Amino acid sequence: MPSNLVVQAQADGVRLITLHRPQALNALNTELLAELADELDAAAHDEHTRTVIITGNRKAFAAGADINEMAERDLVGILNDPRVAHWQRIAAFPKPLIAAVNGFALGGGCELVMCADIVIAGSDARFGQPEINLGIIPGAGGTQRLLRAVGKPLAMQLVLTGETLDARHALQAGLISEMTQPELTVERALQVARSIAQKAPLAVRLAKEALLKAQDTDLASGLRFERHAFTLLAGTADRDEGIRAFQEKRPASFIGR
């Protein structure tokens, strides 16, 4: 049983993971990261789980890596850091991942947000990469994913000054997909997750993969991947069902085949 997470599997194919280290503003220590990576692995292999939401509490989504734990690591400890593998497993989650964010999402917390595919944030959310204040730089994709999300000038400003961004500005900058009232963040994320959970799972999976390709490949390769994925889906029972349901004017019932 994870001790830093609360995991709720909903009947409708949605798994809600709540980060639960409130005494440290959900700071991401090694144990929490390992538990999160394990939960995501389990969700990836569970055919009933179609979509996962990660959330925190009203004060903090996550205030970054655990600074007290970081203080104990020397250079050799950093070279052999088990957190690297945990982060890689989290970033490789193949199903749709939604972050429902209230309060602080700083450092590793902001990097976790950027591992998500969709980000619903309360108007009280604050995002930032304050590692520069500790004499370090982001270590879990913060320089790479932030620049891709918000562009060079704002990414530079955030990473070099450690300033934070409120939810309104994060929405304008493209770091989040939607802003809600703080008390509705998880509810709205559940709505979005349930909507995705009803779609054809193979199409959802390939759509995610194709969209992610757009971030790190040239246009010609991305278009080639899209065409292959599109063609692959032509052989699925769910494509037949989707088209038949449209013609018969009824909701489609997808089975993931």
DSSP-based three-state secondary structure for 125: coil
Determine contact, residues 182/58, Cβ cutoff 8 Å. yes
Give the binding range for ligand DAK (CB under 6 A) out of 6-14, 50-58, 128-136, 187-195. 128-136
Structure tokens at 63: 């205030």
Shortest gap between Cβ of 13 and ligand DAK (angstroms)? 30
> What are the two backbone dihedrals, phi and then psi, of residue 120, each rounded to the nearest 5 degrees?
-105, 125
Q: Is 111 assigned a catalytic role? A: yes
Catalytic site residue from 64, 125, 131, 155: 131
Whether the CA torsion 78, 80, 86, 91 is positive or negative: it is positive
Which listed range, 131-139, 221-229, 234-242, 246-254, lies at the site for ligand DAK (CB under 6 A)? 131-139
Known catalytic residue: 65? yes
CB of 55 to ligand DAK, least distance (A): 17
User: 46: phi > 0 → left, psi -120 to 50 → alpha, else beta; which?
Assistant: beta
By three-state DSSP, how is residue 142 classified? helix
Q: Stretches 44-52, 129-137, 153-161, 224-232: which one binds ligand DAK (CB under 6 A)?
A: 129-137
For residue 40, give the DSSP letter: H
108 binds ligand DAK (CB under 6 A): yes
Interaction with ligand DAK in 6-25: which residues (CB under 6 A)?
24-25
Query: 94 to each of 41, 89, 201, 210, 255, how far by Cα in Å?
Result: 9, 10, 11, 12, 18
Q: Is residue 63 involved in binding ligand DAK (CB under 6 A)?
A: yes
Interacting positions 135-174 with ligand DAK (CB under 6 A): 139-140
Binding residues for ligand DAK, rule: CB under 6 A, are: 24-25, 27, 63-68, 81, 83-84, 87, 104, 106-108, 130-131, 134, 139-140
Q: Which residues are catalytic?
A: 65, 108, 111, 131
